[in-house]
Chains A and B, each alone.
Chain A
């Protein structure tokens, strides 16, 4: 993926997130950082009070985050379809029934579960950078 395309995806995802009515209504305390591991691409998302503070598509080995959501490229592609097929339609479904793994500080994930769920569904509009 070229830098230009990467930047377009980051901009698109950020706009969709920051203008999301539900996140604007409930995201006051949505402050954390997490990694989406899609095999060939890793997305480090840094959130501050419901808004995207930074997105890093080339995180280094020492870049810190609270928790990670890891799955195969195929799983993320299905997860991000406008209407995902059964068992790819959420992080619980994909963790219980497919190859998705929730790792790191799961407490932070659970503390932000409502907003995180909404934010990941934005991938069904923005697509994924893979």
Chain B
């Protein structure tokens, strides 16, 4: 009999209350050390962080926690409300409150927060509104403002929403990324049209930090932005411009990779992530 191969990654639910709404949140975790909290991209789920979660080099130093935002993956919509009677439109206010409540529930001390795309944008919001709660943030594929992607095409009833969503993000990835990982990312996006559009309400409409970046206390919360050269939504110019307006912030351009670096090509992403983590530790030394 072949010996089974078990992953060290463990999944668990935690129930939290945000503004009177009850959420049973699913998260995956592995490792020990400073918490590294990871937010998936819009319309997706925590499996995007599979490479990082099983990376022994990183998890020997960090407790990697990747959760599913409510309505994504294994985290349902709120348990105690008739959520189906309202159109889902993610707001900056809820998103920030949810993440801080989750980190409090897990009793995380000095966490580093990392997210990609709308997860990167919320990282900037966290740095602005909660500089004392996070040791650092790593906004990946983020910008002060990212209009233009809140589109009805994501769930047009006359088109195949799962294929429109998945193919709409296909060329957010770099052609150099491995086929198997690009198709895995495509597959994730074939699963959640309604959540995708609702998430993009935050990404392209409610998130607007233009004129507010100078208020981020970069001396309290280190900000290190990472952007791939093949990202057509938040380009390297957007990332560089945004970082340049935040005190002490750094910007790292990621070559030959796109908007989903952690799932489309983890080996390439890892090089840049290590650079960011080393920079965060250097500040503390």
Interface residues of A (CB under 8 A from B): 83-84, 86-87, 89-93, 96-97, 106-107, 110-111, 113-114, 117
A54 vs B148: C-alpha distance when bound (angstroms) = 35
Given A96-B148, A96-B233, A97-B235; A110-B170 close (CB under 8 Å): no
- Tell yes or no: B58 within 8 A of A by CB: no
Q: Flag if B176 contacts A111 (CB, 8 Å).
A: no
* Given known A89-B174, A107-B159, contact A113–B230 (CB-CB < 8 A): no
Number of interface residues of B (CB under 8 A): 22
Interface of A is mostly: helix
Q: Quick one: which of A83, A96, A117 contacts B176, CB cutoff 8 A?
A: A83
Residue among A86, A91, A92 with max Cβ neighbours from chain B (10 Å):
A86
**Distance in Å: Cβ of B200 to nearest Cβ of chain A:** 14
Main secondary structure of the interface of B (DSSP, over half): loop
Q: Within 8 Å CB of B166, what residues of A?
A: 114
Additional pairs, 15, CB under 8 Å, beyond known A87-B232, A92-B168, A106-B153:
A83-B175, A86-B174, A86-B229, A86-B232, A87-B230, A90-B170, A92-B170, A93-B172, A93-B232, A96-B148, A97-B232, A97-B235, A110-B156, A110-B164, A114-B166
Contact A92 B158 (CB under 8 A): no
List 6 A-B pairs, minimum CB-CB distance, nearest first.
Answer: A90-B171, A93-B232, A110-B159, A113-B167, A114-B163, A93-B171
B244 at interface (Cβ–Cβ under 8 A)? no
